[in-house]
Chain A
Amino acid sequence: MKRIKHFRMRDFGLTLSLSVFVSALVIVGCGQVEEAIDAEDSETSEIDDDLEVVELPPIVVAEGDGLPDELPSDLEWLTNDSDPEFASPDAIQGGTFRTTMSTFPLTLRLVGPDSNGSFTGYLRYNNFGPVSFHPRTRRAIPAIATHWAFGSDGRSIYYRINPKARWSDGEPVTSDDFIFAVQFMRSEQIVAPWYNNYYTDRIRDVKAYDEYTYGVQGADAKPMDEMHYNYGFSPKPRHFHVMSNKWVEQYNWSPDPTTGPYHVGEVSKGKYIDLDRTENWWANDERFYRNRFNPARIRIKVIRDVNTAWQHFLKAELDTFGLVLPDFWHDKAQGEEFDNGYIRKFWLYNQLPQPSTGMFMNTNEPMLSERDVRYGIAHALNFERVINTILRGDYERLPTFQLGFGDYDNNTIKPRTYDLDKAAEYFQRAGFTERDDTGILVRDGQRLSFIVSYGQSHHTDRLVILKEEAKKAGLELELQLLDGSAAFKKQQEKKHQISWGGWASQGLSPRYWEHFHSDNAKRTQTNNITAWADPAMDELIMQFRGSSDRAERIELAHVLERMVHDSGVMVPSFQVPYTREAAWRWIRVPQHIGTPTTGSIFNTQANSAGIFSSGGLFWIDTEIKEETLEAKRNGDSFGAATIVQNDFRTKI
């Protein structure tokens, strides 16, 4: 599967600076947003004139696919009621949590044009699927479904819905909502080709057996956990959607009811959006959901500039603020609010899948097809110097291509480090022995010089240091800063020499087929941007893909990861195995602050990293709030508080 959809030049944790970039663009267009919204309202009457309501076709099943008509009798129904709870019983419900987004969303739809903005995350994770994953054990836990069972064909899965489950408008969640979800996602009215394709190509059948039991059949056999992740899609409320040729316009500003703890409340276009806690939410007393999602309301204000947002935070108009960026953590988070402990700083190490960031070498290029040259380059890149200077020792070296998948990680791999002798040795082996007038190595008049293309302007600082240090090894790196989409296009067409960037990682296990299988090496528009093709690796990759045995897959992943390392086509750069945030003193957190899979401590949503149910653990204490504001007026101090949580730090 091509996962272009999930690609972004991932800026591990640096969403702050990204939002600066986004907001810079939006300043140009902000007037237009409001106009568009007004136009939308006034056009409603016109829309009604040529509205054609569409009846969605029933689920079409291809030959060779299909679930049995009767629920198989030999199913073994599984659940999880034994894994430990991770929320704090001390949590207090209530209060308004104030946070920020850099742009106002262009729509409140979950799919269709313009629906992939940052705000969609709030809505998407409030739409529970049948199961979620435990943030510590990484095993499946009930969400909408209480029980699940796996079919004998290895690619079907059956779910039993919790009869208590309700949409936020009070309607019960039934099997039919899951059938509708597939019909909906396959329909052309939603104008979402990626979803159309996914729900046709990957989800092959869905069937209701009674009001609260349904089955799903996927395209491939997978290990059990992966089946949940790939085929355990969220329901869609059939009672809410009237499908028509105008669906996209009609539902632009009418958000779906949710199955999660919050639903969209007041919307002030261009200014803020409220998410209100659903009253008597059905999962309030469920094992893994009690004592969570504590604020009664979440107000998400539009603040376009990150520095402005920072000022709002210091004035206590926002409750929390992300401090992953070194200059925020070290320089900006200073002053009496911090010294007196009105604002507390948190540093939580986690074990989430790390984005695969670094330099990707295009092996279609003559010099880069030589292994010695690639190894030489790896030893000529001084990542340690970048980390210890401009990154202030906060980041860590990423040892290998994919990391953070628990047992799948091959922790025996050590990255190639900056070593001029080794670099010289490898370059020499490749025939680069002489230096030219500028100090760059040459071989028969060919200079050891490569273009490094990248799309994130704030990475220039890091690259100029690598460039200057590489010069010492006789290697020239020409930096080519492109617009983000142009950089992406260039590497997708395999026109780059060396591409600096990364792939966002998520899911339960690493991926090799898309990045290293030879099928993807020959074609353009694939994620094999190193054009790496190795028959031995192909074989193992196919074995890895087809296997539903977890132990076998783990073993294969270890071998494959080693092969990636040996190929030298990718030089891993940095990892940020933690989150850093600041919060006013009245925002309270459980004893452990978070979980090993907590991506953001003050995540109001159920999930982080797309799957782990680790959000919504904090709460607001109004008494402490009054006490703190009083102390602030009087200048009293509680003592500076910087809390570092090392428990979940991976030891290598």
Chain B
Amino acid sequence: MSVLNLNPQTIKQLKRFRSIKRGYWSAILLAVLLALCLVAELLVNSRALMVSYEGELYFPTYTAMNPGSTFGLEYAYETNYRELREKFEGEDEGNWVLMPPVPYNAFENDLRIGSYPPAAPSFEDQHYLGTDTTGRDIVARLVYGFRIAIAFSGLLLTFNYVAGIIIGCAMGYFGGAFDLLFQRVIEIWSNIPFLYVIMIVASVVVPSFLTLVIVMAALGWMQLTWNMRTSTYKEKGREYVSAAQALGAGNVRIIGSHILPNTIAVIVTFVPFSIASGITFLTALDYLGFGLPPPTPSWGELLSQGTNQLQAPWIVTSVVVAMVIVLLMVTYVGEAIREAFDPKQFTYYE
């Protein structure tokens, strides 16, 4: 189905969504942020965007590392482009370096002799939000941390929703023993204390990005099942389902092409909130030290640093403000979607 070929119902919902200004602008802003995140290497990076050296142009961002010797420096390890820029400016031989707006990556320690990290925000050093306890740039940690959190959240959401939708629909559609069995399974499964499981897992293996997603999906897929079960159950009693059955459509076809599109409102309204909870979960885990292994940039780790270093308020302020803004925007979008998809919009019951 092409974009232009939307059904009138969807067009109405989109219009309604656009009319809710707060959610609409939040969605646009979030989309922009996500897009920027994908090319974060061009904005926040210790590698230069462009280097002109002896008449030749270099674009180091996405290439293999250039040892210092490439640019006439005396070392074999990766060029420090910030120093290179200063060197070129000093020499004035027509060579130049174009750095990204924030010329630091999320891992390097910008430690200066005579001052101890964390360093306060400084425009001169281009640490716009200061540095953390090991001298890493906070903007860089925030940006790359955000990218990881969003990717984590998105992946987790996919796993949870695929499982939740399949099982929930099956429960609602088939009913009977299958439904009963899964109801009990879910009830039991929901009672597994999530944090303890993570703690145990973290003590046995180093939690990697994927293991964390898997563990959290294994304990989180139940959320959507109840809602999907209810809506499928409701839809199943409708005449169009009976009609499809009468025409000889199979179960998969009925669920897939008839019931699912009619329950999409339920799914869509939950998405933003699931994203928000995914981000919060990862942050909380990192904060407690059960999350991604160091030195992965992460909001939770920054938060934990910040609360231990209240004398360096820029750490905790940056991460709290960033979190509040992102979570607020996601929530606004969620609110707007819910309202846009609300079928009771123009219906009044007396």
Contacts and interface: CB of A to CB of B under 8 A. Distances in A.
Contact of A472 (B75, B133, B289, B294): B75
Interface string B192-207: 0000000000111010
Interface stretch (B105-113, B210-218, B266-274, B322-330): B105-113
Contacts of A468: 107-109
Interface residues of B, number: 28
A118 interface: no
Contact of A471 (B78, B204, B295): B78
A474 B67 CA distance: 11
Nearest to A485: B203
Contact of B77 (A388, A474, A481): A474
Nearest to B78: A439
A428 to B, nearest CB: 11
Interface string A475-507: 000011111011000000000000000000000
Given A390-B116, A437-B65, A438-B65, A480 B206 contact: yes
A467 B206 CA distance: 18
Contacts of B289: 457, 481
Contacts of A389: 109, 111, 113, 116-117, 135
A158 B78 CA distance: 67
A424 B116 CA distance: 30
Contacts of B345: none
A241 interface: no
Interface string B302-313: 000000010100
Contacts of A385: 111
A465 B111 CA distance: 9
Interface residues of A, number: 35
Interface string B88-117: 000000000000000000011101010011
A460 B204 CA distance: 19
A479 B113 CA distance: 25
A52 to B, nearest CB: 38
Interface string A432-444: 0001111100000
Contacts of B136: 464
A311 B299 CA distance: 28
A392 interface: yes
A424 B74 CA distance: 14
Candidate in B65, B67, B76, B294 with the most chain A CB atoms within 10 angstroms: B294
Contacts of A473: 77
Given A389-B116, A437-B65, A464 B76 contact: no
A331 interface: yes
A302 interface: no
Contacts of B65: 435, 437-439
Contacts of B293: 479-481
Interface of A: 327, 330-332, 385, 388-390, 392, 420, 424, 435-439, 457, 460-461, 463-465, 467-468, 471-474, 479-483, 485-486
A464 B135 CA distance: 10
Nearest to A465: B109
A472 B73 CA distance: 13
A467 B134 CA distance: 12
B113 A388 contact: yes
B203 A483 contact: yes
A333 B78 CA distance: 40
Given A435-B76, A438-B65, A471-B78, A481 B206 contact: yes
13 contacts: A331-B311, A390-B133, A392-B116, A420-B77, A437-B64, A439-B67, A457-B294, A460-B294, A461-B133, A464-B109, A479-B294, A483-B203, A486-B204
Contacts of A481: 206, 289, 293-294
Given A331-B311, A389-B135, A467 B295 contact: yes
Contacts of A390: 111, 116-117, 133-135
Interface of B is mostly: loop
Interface string B19-52: 0000000000000000000000000000000000
Contacts of A457: 289, 294
Contact of A464 (B78, B204, B294): B294
Given A331-B311, A388-B113, A390-B117, A483 B77 contact: no
A491 to B, nearest CB: 15
A460 to B, nearest CB: 4
A471 B109 CA distance: 12
Nearest to A20: B308
Given A388-B113, A461-B133, A435 B67 contact: yes
Interface in B110-158: 111, 113, 116-117, 133-136
A331 B134 CA distance: 16
Nearest to A326: B116
A464 B107 contact: yes
A457 B293 CA distance: 10
A473 B67 CA distance: 12
Contacts of B311: 331-332
Nearest to B134: A461
Nearest to A437: B64
A387 to B, nearest CB: 11
A436 B76 CA distance: 11
Contacts of A471: 77-78
Contacts of A460: 294-295
A480 B292 CA distance: 10
B78 A465 contact: no
Chain A to chain B: the 4 pairs with minimum beta-carbon distance, closest first: A437-B64, A483-B203, A472-B77, A389-B111
A468 B108 CA distance: 6
A461 B311 CA distance: 18
A420 B75 contact: yes
B68 to A, nearest CB: 10
Contacts of A435: 65, 67, 76
Nearest to A332: B311
Contacts of B117: 389-390
A392 B135 CA distance: 13
A439 B206 CA distance: 25
A390 B119 CA distance: 11
A464 B134 contact: yes
B78 to A, nearest CB: 5
A389 B294 CA distance: 19
Contacts of A472: 75, 77-78
Contacts of B204: 486
A460 B309 CA distance: 16
B190 to A, nearest CB: 21
B127 to A, nearest CB: 15
B103 to A, nearest CB: 16
A468 B294 CA distance: 13
A501 to B, nearest CB: 16
Nearest to A453: B206
Contacts of B206: 480-482
Nearest to B307: A307
A438 B289 CA distance: 28
Contacts of B116: 330, 389-390, 392
A336 to B, nearest CB: 17
Contacts of A388: 113
Candidate in A436, A437, A457, A461 with the most chain B CB atoms within 10 angstroms: A461
A614 B117 CA distance: 37
A314 to B, nearest CB: 15
A464 B111 contact: no
Contacts of B111: 385, 389-390, 465
Candidate in B64, B67, B134, B289 with the most chain A CB atoms within 10 angstroms: B134
Contacts of A480: 206, 293
